[in-house]
């Protein structure tokens, strides 16, 4: 004999169980559908991205986002350094004689390296920390290095840093100029300390008269010297930092030591 109440209880439990499974099934299905939509969307996006790139290359000869007349930059590979073209050369007489404290190297050197630089420029810092020491070690008195100022207008601390180097040279001569030069590139730039207070601290650390240095820097006593270098760089067509003239041959950017070595060796072999 069937007990209706028991059957009803069993039916209710069965219905509740079915509802739970149904809810779980709907939730799982939602995740599956959402995942499928995301996968399909990405696949379609990749398809059209690739299609757009191919069309752009075929029609315009360049990939999307590449300015007209400019090819996409390849990934860096190991290759022989490329020398500047022979035509990219100036007459060294166009470069004015700098203050003596901004020159270091051999008195009778046959190779002159003139650098237009910015103390806040990271590429100038890379050259100073990595490449310049190799040049000095390799060639010693065979080369003469000349520093010229080109503080870029979008570098907030570059102008005062240039003035600080000039103040150091004016007060303490070559030793003080190059000590301040190294302080700013090796410490100031890396640590983000090129504000006026830090420049005065550097002057103190290299042994300059603090009062005299502060008067020079705060009074802008060397700003006119920086302006002369800026004007000269414009006449020479210098467009960025660092830019180098090695016996007139132009090298733009913080290129590897091997590039500088090839140019210097050429000049030494040709007698300068």
pLDDT at 73: 42
Please state which of the ranges 63-67, 192-196, 241-245 shows the lowest mean pLDDT.
63-67
pLDDT at 216 over 90: yes
55 and 148, same domain (yes or no): no
Q: How many other C-beta atoms lie within 10 A of the C-beta of residue 57?
A: 14
Q: Which of 34-43, 45-54, 80-89, 175-184 has the highest average model confidence (pLDDT)? A: 175-184
CATH code of 118's domain:
3.40.30.10
Task: Report yes or no on 54 lying in a domain.
Answer: yes
Mean pLDDT of 50-76: 41
Entry pTM: 0.69
Residue 246, strand partner residues: 113, 249
pLDDT at 8 over 90: no
Nearest to 188 by CA among 207, 203, 173, 176: 203
Q: pLDDT digit string (tens) for 237-255?
A: 999 999 999 999 999 999 9
In the structure, what pLDDT confidence band is assigned to residue 205 with cuts at 50, 70 and 90? very high
What's the mean pLDDT when you consider all of the chain? 79
Residue range(s) defining the domain that contains residue 52: 11-59
Mean pLDDT of 155-164: 98
45 and 175, same domain (yes or no): no
Task: Report yes or no on 79 lying in a domain.
Answer: no
Residue 121 or residue 34, greater confidence? 121
Residue 182 or residue 53, greater confidence? 182
pLDDT at 134: 98
How far is the C-alpha of 143 from the C-alpha of 106, rounded, in Å? 6
Task: Report yes or no on 253 lying in a domain.
Answer: yes
pLDDT at 53 over 50: no
185 and 52, same domain (yes or no): no
Task: Report yes or no on 239 lying in a domain.
Answer: yes
pLDDT at 272: 66
Task: Report yes or no on 81 lying in a domain.
Answer: no
41 and 131, same domain (yes or no): no
pLDDT at 88: 82
Task: Report yes or no on 128 lying in a domain.
Answer: yes
Give the number of domains in the chain. 2
In the structure, what pLDDT confidence band is assigned to residue 41 with cuts at 50, 70 and 90? very low
Per residue, the 3-state secondary structure of the chain, as one string, reads CCCHHHHHHHHHHHHHHHHHHHHHHHHHHHHHHHHHHHHHHHHHHHHHHHHHHHHHHHHHCCCCCCCCCCCCCCCCCCCCCCCCCCCCECCHHHCCCCCHHHEEECCCCCEEEEEEECCCCHHHHHHHHHHHHHHHHHHHHHEEEEEEECCCCCCCCHHHHHHHHHHHHHHHHHHHHHHHHHHHHHHHHHHCCCCHHHHHHHHHHCCCCHHHHHHHHHCCCCHHHHHHHHHHHHHCCCCCCCEEEECCEEEECCCCHHHHHHHHHHHHHCCC
128 and 45, same domain (yes or no): no
Q: pLDDT digit string (tens) for 92-146?
A: 999 999 999 999 999 899 999 999 999 999 999 999 999 999 999 999 999 999 9
Residue 240 or residue 8, greater confidence? 240
164 and 37, same domain (yes or no): no
């Amino acid at each position: 004999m069937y007990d209706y109440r028991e059957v009803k209880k069993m039916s209710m439990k069965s219905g509740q169980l079915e509802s739970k499974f149904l809810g779980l099934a709907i939730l799982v299905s939602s995740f599956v559908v959402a995942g499928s939509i995301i996968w399909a969307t990405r696949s379609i996006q990749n398809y059209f991205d690739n299609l757009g790139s191919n069309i752009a290359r075929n029609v315009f000869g360049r990939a999307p986002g590449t300015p007209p007349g400019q090819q996409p930059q390849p990934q860096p590979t190991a290759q022989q350094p490329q020398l500047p073209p022979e035509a990219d050369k100036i007459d060294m007489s166009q470069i004015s004689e700098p203050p003596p404290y901004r020159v270091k190297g051999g008195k009778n050197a046959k190779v002159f390296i003139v650098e237009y630089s910015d103390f806040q420029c990271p590429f100038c810092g890379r050259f100073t920390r990595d490449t310049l020491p190799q040049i000095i070690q390799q060639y010693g008195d065979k080369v003469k290095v000349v520093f010229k100022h080109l503080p870029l207008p979008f570098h907030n601390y570059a102008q005062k840093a240039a003035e600080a180097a000039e103040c150091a040279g004016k007060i303490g001569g070559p030793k003080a100029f190059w000590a301040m030069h190294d302080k700013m590139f090796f410490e100031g730039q890396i640590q983000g300390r090129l504000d006026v207070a830090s420049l005065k601290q550097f002057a103190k650390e290299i042994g300059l008269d603090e009062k005299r240095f502060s008067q020079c820097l705060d009074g802008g006593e060397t700003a006119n010297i920086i302006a002369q270098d800026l004007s000269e760089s414009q006449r020479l067509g210098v467009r960025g930092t660092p830019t180098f003239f090695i016996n007139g041959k132009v090298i733009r950017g913080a290129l590897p030591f091997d590039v500088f070595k090839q140019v210097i060796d050429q000049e030494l072999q040709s007698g300068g």
